[in-house]
Amino acid sequence: MQPDQSPSLYDRLGGVYNIAVVVDDLIDRVMADDRLNKNPAVDEAHHRVTPPGFKYFVTEMVCWAAGGPQQYSGRSMGDSHRHLHITEDEWAAFMDDLHQSLTKFHVPAAEGRELVTIVESTKDAIVAASPRSGPPPA
């Protein structure tokens, strides 16, 4: 970091050790969330992928998106979610899980909002890919 630059979100969150703690809690919530697992495709995938591997990819992605030195090495959000047919209600449940994890670890409001903005930026690739998410905008 240059002296005249403000610290990245990654640095303000405390780097990978802190980000991984929040992702660990979030993925535990998401994988056990009945609101998500009532979707059979999500339920199948949640029982197929291993929690450590899933946490690894999401941690890597959040670190990268927050300005850390990591390079995200997983699939695109469209490629990894298209087959899951995720609905608006399921998206809302995921965001509720995220807010619970941010609250649990007392992530400061400003940094929490920036993280939520990053996650929201993936919504079109994750939800709009679903044939069940409604008609395309006019």
Q: Report the binding-site residues for heme.
A: 81
Give the nearest distance from C-beta 28 to ligand HEM in angstroms: 13
CB 59 within 8 A of CB 20: yes
Q: What is the distance of C-alpha 32 from the center of its chain?
A: 15
* 13 or 126: CB nearest ligand HEM: 126
**The Cα angle at residue 129 between residues 60 and 100, in degrees rounded to 5:** 50
Block residue for tokens 């990894």: 80
Give the nearest distance from C-beta 3 to ligand HEM in angstroms: 31
For the record, the structure tokens of 69 come out as 């030195």
* 15 or 118: CB nearest ligand HEM: 118
* 10 or 94: CB nearest ligand HEM: 94
- What are φ and ψ of residue 63, in 5° steps? -60, -45
**Residue from 42, 1, 13 nearest 116 by CA:** 13
* 16 or 61: CB nearest ligand HEM: 61
Give the nearest distance from C-beta 138 to ligand HEM in angstroms: 25
Q: Which residues are annotated as a binding site?
A: 81
Residue nearest to ligand HEM (CB): 74
For the record, the structure tokens of 65 come out as 């998106």
Give the nearest distance from C-beta 135 to ligand HEM in angstroms: 20
Residue ranges in contact with ligand HEM by CB under 6 A: 36, 42, 45-46, 49, 57-58, 61, 74-75, 80-81, 84, 86, 90-91, 94, 119, 122, 126
What DSSP string runs through 25-61?
Answer: HHHHHHHT-HHHHTSHHHHHHHHHS-HHHHHHHHHHH
